[in-house]
Every structure is written in structure tokens, then in C-alpha cells.
Structure 1
Amino acid sequence: MKPQMTGKVVLVTGAGSIGEGWGNGKAAAVLYAREGAKILAVDRNLEAAEETRRIIESEGGVCFTLAADVAKTADVERMVQACIDLFGRIDVLHNNVGIAETGGPVEASEESWNRVIAVNQTSVFLTCKHVLPHMEKQKSGVIINIASVAAIRWIGFPYAAYSASKAAMISLTKNVAMQYASLGVRANCILPGLMDTPMIREPLKAAYGGDIEVMREQRHQQSPMGRMGDAWDVAYAALFLASDNARYITGVDLVVDGGVDA
């Protein structure tokens, strides 16, 4: 079978991993490349993006990297222009940037709230704002936004800013999907559940008593399947939604959580 993304250009934000192992953006970028796509891997940490590039190139794929803070307009404009200069088009925008900070409205500081909203929510607004004109001109394109099951349910501890930012991402995605449906552009959300990725280790371990292994075991037990998912579970969901196999799917929230929200 022909690879699902042959000839496609994919812009992945948050394409590095914040620690050892496979983060969602890193796995998605590698999987898109394995399926024939050309990748622009963007991350605030250029070395993290470079690690993703090295993996892709070692497998015969095409990947360029860029350091950018997608919560800043100038960086987003530069990122989008770089992709157009490199490849001439953007077929898929994969928004994976996100941070997690715990605390409810009383415990969380205003600075923490603003930081999470800027990184998780404003970044998606900015990337859509600057990528959509190119997709409209092409009369084609797909936007994949990585939200969270925390947007639609309580997951065991206060997570106010994170949950709010991810819920806003779902609504923004639906707005984009409906506005651009007749213009050849699709937009969908993926809602990962309890995932075993580098992102969970430092930000969340305090909520589980400070012990990472205790945290991992408790999160495994929270899943009806008896285990957390991983970055590849999210990546394969993204691949489906980005591919032509999902050509009649837009405005959906695809929950990838092992049954947590069932």
C-alpha cells in the first residue's frame, strides 16, 4: 500500500520531547514522516526538535527544524513563512504544544493561569490565524489539535488552567471546522487520556506524592484497560485524521483514553 501521507507537508509544533522517551509531538512527526510526509519540526528547544529530525533522517525521511515560541505572534509568522519557503505549502498543521500546571482557582497563581492559557490556547489561535490563509488558498488542508480528556471530565486532582485551556481548544477547533468546511479545510481535536509520556513526570508527580513510579502505577490503575496509553496511541489517531482516509471527518473530538471517559 502507498504510504498515507506521500507528498504532504506537515508542520508539527511541540515536535521535540521535554525528556527522555517519546512525547506526543515527537512520535507524531516521526510517524507522519514514515508515511511519506515532509516535516517542519518546531519546538522552543531546538535540540529537542533536532533529535526528532535525526530520527526521521536516519529512516530516510525529510525533516527541517525551527526554534519558535508559538505563543508569540512574531515567532508564529516566522515559522509559517519558513514552511512556505521550504516546501511551498502546508497540508497539515499539527498543534501539539502544551504545558501542565496543577491547582484550582485558589491554589494557582494568576501568573500560572496566564502562562498555561498563553501556551495551550493562544498558541493554537495564532497558528490557525497564520496557517489558514495558506490552506484556503490551496483549497485544502487539515488541522489537528491535541487537547485532553481533562477538557471534558475531572481526572483526579485540580487542573483548572489546563482543563480550561484544552476545553477552549475544542471549541476553537469546531469553529474553524465549520467556518472552513466548504473551503476544503478540515479541523479535528484529539483528546488523550492518561498517557505515559515525558510531559507527565515532573509537572504532575507532586499530585501523586512526589514519587514518579507511584504516579505511574496509580495512573495505570485509573484506566479501564489497566494501563496508560503512550505517544504512539495519539500519533496513530492523528495520522488517521490527517490522512485522506478521514476526508469526510471534521469538527470531531476523538477521545484516545482507554475507556476513562466511557
Structure 2
Amino acid sequence: MSLQGKVAWVTGGGSGIGLAGAVELARAGARVVVSGRDADKLQTAIAQAEARGAPLGAISAAPLDVADAAAVNRVAADIQQTLGRVDILVNSAGLNFPTRYWGETDAATFEKVVSINLNGATYCTLAVLHGMQARREGTVINVASFAGWHFEYLTGPAYTASKAAMMALTHSFNIEEGMHGLRATALCPGEVATPILKKRPVQPTEAEKARMLQEDDLGRTIRFIAEMPAHVCINELVISPVWNRTYIGSRAAAPA
């Protein structure tokens, strides 16, 4: 399916997987809006995207905290009023914290992770749903995680639970909305060399990051999903580095 003239909204678009996805969608011809909490970071991201091959002016910014449902509705309404619609939603906003394990985390930390990773994706999807239903076409790409597909130690309970819930969110969307011509994909990447690694209790070395998936790998994957013919739904797409530390033994990669 050609993305020429399509409108894409990418949350978490200021860096990492979100920014890489925005670049590829823009290169494919879509008009892209990137959202994130830091307005200055978004402007820097747009410049980086254009340096990486996104057409000049194809990407614009809409600062947003996806955990704020009212703000999500305002931004979504503005995008749809300005650009006419949202054809592709990429829910890539996500976070984790160094103090992530049962013995050191707390309720406030758990709530912050879930509010962004899960609730934010829900709010954004709800905000564009009715427009997609009216057009009987729309693609939602939920950036879940390998950790939501294959439970592991390294990510901690809040992140693991939120990403597993994103997968359930995706499947429930397809169960209900497939009959309206809509589709959703749970994109489940293994370790990716993105800025979120700075939140690890023990940060990977540069040599370890070089063996992980790279941002551009996920950018191309997001474009691949979006360009599939409208009658095709990729319910889950699991992608990992060949050197997969989940299989090697995530406990060995975590602090003692």
C-alpha cells in the first residue's frame, strides 16, 4: 500500500524507535506528526530526521504527555483538523526506571510506567478511532516488546506487565475493529540500541549495543507494517537480535 499522502502520528517520536519510524514513514510519502514531552527535543529530532533522509517539511511536532488523556484528545483533534485525518498511529512512547525490580520498586514507579506505556497508547488509539472507523481504514502499530511476548528478568515487573498488556490491547483491537477495516500490530522487538538503555541499572557496553537491533532496523519494520495491503493484518511481529541475551540468560546480564 502506498503511503503517499497518508497521515501518521508517532508518539515517542523525539528519539529511538519512534524517530526511526517517523523517518521511514516520511520517506515513504506520509505526512508525519511526532509527539513527545520535550518540545525542544522534538525540534532537534525533526532536524535529525531530515538529515537522515526525511523530506524537508514532511515531519512536524506536537508536544504531548501521552499520560494526560485530555491533552491527548486536544492534540489528536488538532492533527485531524489540520491534516484531515490520522491513517497510521505508532504508539512508541515508553519508559522504564533503574529501580525496577520487586525488591526496590514502589507503587508510584509502577504507576508511571503503566501510565505511559499502556494508558498512553490506549488514550491515543481512542482519540483517532472514530475517524478510522468512518473511513473504514487505519493502522495502529503498538511498540510492545520481546519482554511482553517472552517474559524475562531484565525489564522488571512494571515494564513487562505494561508491554504484555499492550499485546492484549492489540489483539482486542483486531477482534473488535477488524470488521470495520482497521488493523493493529504488536511490534515486539528484543534489545534495541536506543536512549532508553541509559535507564538500565547496568548500562550495556558499546560492544554489546553494537550487537543489538539498531534504531533503523525498527524504522524499516514500522514502514513494512504500514505498507502492507489494507486487507492484511500482522497481528504480532517479533524481531530480535541474533545475539539474544534473553535466550543467552538475562539473569547473567542483570545486576547480582
> TM-score band (shorter)?
0.7 to 0.9
Please report the TM-score for the alignment, with normalisation by the length of structure 1.
0.85
| Residue 56 of structure 1: how far off its partner (Å) | 4.6
Tell me if 1:236 matches 2:220: yes
Structure 2 CA distance for aligned equivalents of residues 219 and 100 of structure 1: 18
Tell me if 1:249 matches 2:249: no
Contact 1:30 1:55 (8 Å CA) reproduced: no
| Residue 151 of structure 1: how far off its partner (Å) | 1.0
Residue by residue over 1:166-206, the C-alpha shift from the partner in whole angstroms, topping out at 9 and shown as x without a partner, is 000000010001111011111011111011111112x11x2
Structure 1 CA distance for aligned equivalents of residues 45 and 217 of structure 2: 18
Tell me if 1:183 matches 2:166: no
Tell me if 1:121 matches 2:118: yes
Structure 2 CA distance for aligned equivalents of residues 131 and 67 of structure 1: 17
The 3-state SS of whatever aligns with 2:41 is helix
Match of 1:29 among 10, 14, 22: 22
Code of the residue aligned with 2:236 in structure 1: it is: D
Structure 2 CA distance for aligned equivalents of residues 140 and 45 of structure 1: 31
Contact 2:26 2:58 (8 Å CA) reproduced: yes
Instruction: Report the equivalent of 1:223.
Output: none
Structure 1 stretches of at least 4 aligned residues deviating more than 6 Å after TM superposition: none
Code of the residue aligned with 2:149 in structure 1: it is: I
Structure 2 CA distance for aligned equivalents of residues 89 and 41 of structure 1: 15
Change in Cα spacing, 1:200 to 1:158, as seen in structure 2 (3 Å) is closer
Code of the residue aligned with 1:180 in structure 2: it is: E
Instruction: Report the equivalent of 2:41.
Output: 48
| Residue 234 of structure 1: how far off its partner (Å) | 1.1
The more displaced of 100-109 and 71-80 is 100-109
Residue by residue over 1:105-135, the C-alpha shift from the partner in whole angstroms, topping out at 9 and shown as x without a partner, is 3321111101101011110111111111110
The 3-state SS of whatever aligns with 1:90 is coil
Code of the residue aligned with 2:22 in structure 1: it is: A
Code of the residue aligned with 2:66 in structure 1: it is: V
Match of 1:71 among 67, 73, 77: 67
Tell me if 1:109 matches 2:106: yes
Instruction: Report the equivalent of 1:15.
Output: 13
Structure 1 CA distance for aligned equivalents of residues 155 and 221 of structure 2: 27
| Residue 60 of structure 1: how far off its partner (Å) | 2.8
Contact 1:34 1:61 (8 Å CA) reproduced: no
Code of the residue aligned with 2:8 in structure 1: it is: V
Alignment gaps of 5+ in structure 1: 18-22, 221-226
Structure 2 CA distance for aligned equivalents of residues 110 and 81 of structure 1: 32
The 3-state SS of whatever aligns with 1:67 is coil
RMSD: 2.0
Match of 1:100 among 84, 87, 96: 96
Change in Cα spacing, 1:159 to 1:246, as seen in structure 2 (3 Å) is farther
| Residue 30 of structure 1: how far off its partner (Å) | 1.0
Structure 1 CA distance for aligned equivalents of residues 135 and 67 of structure 2: 25
Count of residue correspondences = 241
Instruction: Report the equivalent of 1:224.
Output: none
Structure 1 CA distance for aligned equivalents of residues 209 and 62 of structure 2: 34
The more displaced of 72-81 and 155-164 is 155-164
Percent identity over the alignment is 29
Please report the TM-score for the alignment, with normalisation by the length of structure 2.
0.87
Structure 1 CA distance for aligned equivalents of residues 213 and 46 of structure 2: 24
Instruction: Report the equivalent of 1:86.
Output: 82
Structure 2 CA distance for aligned equivalents of residues 98 and 142 of structure 1: 19
Structure 1 CA distance for aligned equivalents of residues 195 and 32 of structure 2: 22
Contact 2:11 2:93 (8 Å CA) reproduced: yes
Code of the residue aligned with 2:165 in structure 1: it is: A
Alignment gaps of 5+ in structure 2: 248-256
| Residue 249 of structure 1: how far off its partner (Å) | 1.7
| Residue 101 of structure 1: how far off its partner (Å) | 2.1
Contact 1:56 1:62 (8 Å CA) reproduced: no
